Amino acid sequence: MSLTVDDFDFPLPPELIAQHPAAERTASRLLHVAGPALTDLGFTDLPSLLAPGDLLVFNDTRVIKARFFGAKDSGGAVEVLVERIAEPHRALAQVRASKSPKPGTRLLLENSFGVTVTGREGEFFVLELPDGGPDFWQLTEAHGRLPLPPYITHGAEAEDESRYQTVYARAPGAVAAPTAGLHFDEALLGRLKAMGVEQAFLTLHVGAGTFQPVRVSNIADHHMHSERFEIPAATAEAIAATRARGGRVVAVGTTSLRALESAALQGRREDGTVPAGGAETDIFITPGYQFRVVDRLVTNFHLPKSTLLMLVAALAGFDTIRAAYAHAVAQRYRFFSYGDAMLLERAAPPRA
């Protein structure tokens, strides 16, 4: 399909952008999208849509406190958002300032510690700490601020410290939450396990690039940011076992889907399985993509003109997603990170 970014625009009333999470994790709504059939449910109805032998694949990344405010040696104010901790004393970051800092510029962050800008890697600045002192992992935890998405208008509060993490978050490194997982609590996970729905985990550290707009008209000209993922051997084995018994692989979140599909592509797997191991991915999934692993997707509602909206249109079908989003707006679903959820069925591939 030849599509432009404007094909993925839709009118969204600002009041539908959720600014706070639901009172309880599972209290959100769930829209089941199965082709033209749209069913309004609650998230606690998810088990009724799954079957024993299905496999849920979760992203267990943990959001780090990656935002800092400070000043340059010259006195100019800066805001730093760490994208990735490449080494304990070296990080890649977005830096907002009135003038772009040059190599050699020192920044004092949170009135607590200094970093030096040593260069650029693509759109990111390279920040380095002195050897022998605290590293970036320690300093983010001690002085950083939780990096809420740009469409959430309040600063991070005590509520966000817990609710902008999944209950199964384990591996620190993300600067944005894998938000589809925010709807699950321990009780729901227990219900699913008791009914025979298997659970597996992978890690993809979500970068700030997930919020970057598509700046080209023809989406084929857009280049995705790169993220690191890791698929444990136990998860690769669980997917193979699910395929063997005829179960369905259900990705929880677009990050899980991107990791699974990237692993299959990079491992040249065409049988619905994935190899274990870690790699970088800049996969850009748009309508016309042929899915290899994921049968169904649990996801939130995404931004207009975003790469994630393009991804869900690839999975469920372009016209299906347009209808589903129009329905969600009309029914006053809550959008984005703290909003409601969808369960998407993968559309049948077009006939040759």
User: From CA 239, how far away is CA 295, in angstroms rounded?
Assistant: 11
Q: Do β-strands 37-42 and 29-34 pair in parallel, antiparallel, or remain unpaired?
A: antiparallel
One domain, residues 301 and 188: yes
Q: Write down the mean pLDDT value for the chain.
A: 95
DSSP string, 184-233: --HHHHHHHHHTT-EEEEEEE---GGGGPPP-SSBGGG--PPPEEEEE-H
Structure tokens at 312: 């869900």
**How many residues belong to the chain?**
352
Domain boundary among 143, 174, 204: 143
The residue assigned the tokens 């959720």 is: 18
Query: With the C-alpha atoms ordered 84, 88, 90, 95, is the resulting torsion angle positive or negative?
Result: positive
Residues 231-256: tens digit of each pLDDT:
999 999 999 999 999 999 999 999 99
Q: Are 67 and 79 in contact (CB under 8 A)?
A: yes
One domain for residues 218 and 290: yes
Co-location of 270 and 167 in the same domain: yes
**236 is a domain residue:** yes
- The boundaries of the domain holding residue 112 are 67-143
Within this chain, do residues 77 and 42 fall inside the same structural domain, yes or no?
no
Stretch 102-126: mean pLDDT: 95
Q: Is residue 260 part of a domain?
A: yes
pLDDT at 212: 73
Strand order in the sheet with 341-345: 37-42, 29-34, 341-345, 296-300, 249-252, 55-59, 198-204, 227-231, 277-281
Do 193 and 289 fall within a single domain? Answer: yes
Residues 10-30 pLDDT 10s: 999 999 999 999 999 999 999
Domain count, the chain: 2
Q: Residues 50, 107: one domain?
A: no
In a domain, 11, yes or no: yes
Same-domain status, 134 and 167? no
Asked, for residue 139, whether it belongs to a domain, the answer is yes
Q: What is the reported pLDDT for 225?
A: 81
Residues 109 and 231 in one domain: no
Task: Evaluate whether residue 153 is within a structural domain.
Answer: no
The predicted structure's pLDDT at residue 322: 97
pTM: 0.95
Is residue 198 in some structural domain? Answer: yes
Question: pLDDT band for position 223 (50/70/90)?
Answer: confident
Domain of 84, CATH number, reads: 2.40.10
Task: Give a yes or no: residue 152 inside a domain.
Answer: no
- DSSP readout, 67-103? EEEEEETTS-EEEEEEEEEEETTEEEEEEEESSPPPT
Q: Is residue 91 part of a domain?
A: yes
In the three-class reduction of DSSP (H, G, I as helix; E, B as strand; rest coil), residue 261 is classed as helix
Q: Let me know whether 305 and 223 are in one domain.
A: yes
Q: Measured between alpha carbons, how far is 181 from 337 in angstroms, rounded to an integer?
A: 10
Number of Cβ within 10 Å of residue 102's Cβ equals 10
Q: What whole-number distance in Å separates Cα of residue 81 and Cα of residue 61?
A: 17
What's the pLDDT at 224?
87
Q: Is 56 in the same domain as 82?
A: no
Residue 228 CA to residue 205 CA, distance in Å, equals 6
Note the pLDDT of residue 56.
98
Instruction: Say if residue 213's pLDDT is above 80.
Output: no
Are 60 and 171 spatial neighbours (Cβ–Cβ below 8 Å)?
Answer: yes
Contact 338, 183 (CB under 8 A): no
CATH for 240: 3.40.1780.10
Q: Is 122 exposed, middle or buried (0-12, 13-18, 19+ CB in 10 A)?
A: exposed
215 and 299 together in one domain:
yes
Alpha-carbon gap, residue 169 to 137, rounded angstroms: 16
Q: Is residue 238 domain-shared with residue 180, that is, in the same domain? A: yes
